[in-house]
C-alpha cells in the first residue's frame, strides 16, 4: 500500500481559517484551498506520510460530524 489517493477521513475543527494559518506557517502541504459549501468549509492537508486528511468546519448544525452514528 502506498500513501496518497483521495480517500480520507474528516476532522471537525472550530476555526478553519486560524488552523490553516498555523499549519501554513509550519509549512504543511495542502492539496487545495479552503472550499466553502452549503454545510461548511473544508480543506485537505497531507499527513507526514502523504495521506490526505480533511479539516472541516461546519456552518450548519446538521453538518456537524460529532454525534453521528
Rounded to 5°, angle at Cα 15 from 10 and 46: 40
Distance of alpha carbon 59 from alpha carbon 24, whole angstroms: 23
Percent of the chain with pLDDT over 90: 65
pLDDT digits (tens, 9 = 90+) for 24-44: 999 999 999 999 999 999 999
Q: Which grid cell is 33?
A: 484551498
Pairing state between β 40-46 and 35-36: antiparallel
Q: What is the pTM of this model?
A: 0.84
Q: What is the pLDDT of residue 3?
A: 74
Dist CA 36 CA 38 (whole Å):
7
Predicted confidence (pLDDT) at residue 22 exceeds the cutoff of 80: yes
Whole-number pLDDT of residue 67: 63
Give the SS3 label for residue 61: helix
Amino acid at each position: 500500500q502506498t500513501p496518497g489517493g483521495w480517500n480520507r477521513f474528516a476532522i471537525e475543527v472550530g476555526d478553519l481559517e486560524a488552523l490553516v494559518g498555523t499549519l501554513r506557517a509550519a509549512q504543511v502541504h495542502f492539496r487545495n484551498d479552503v472550499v466553502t459549501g452549503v454545510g461548511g468549509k473544508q480543506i485537505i492537508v497531507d499527513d507526514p506520510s502523504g495521506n490526505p486528511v480533511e479539516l472541516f468546519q461546519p456552518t450548519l448544525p446538521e453538518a456537524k460530524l460529532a454525534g453521528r452514528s
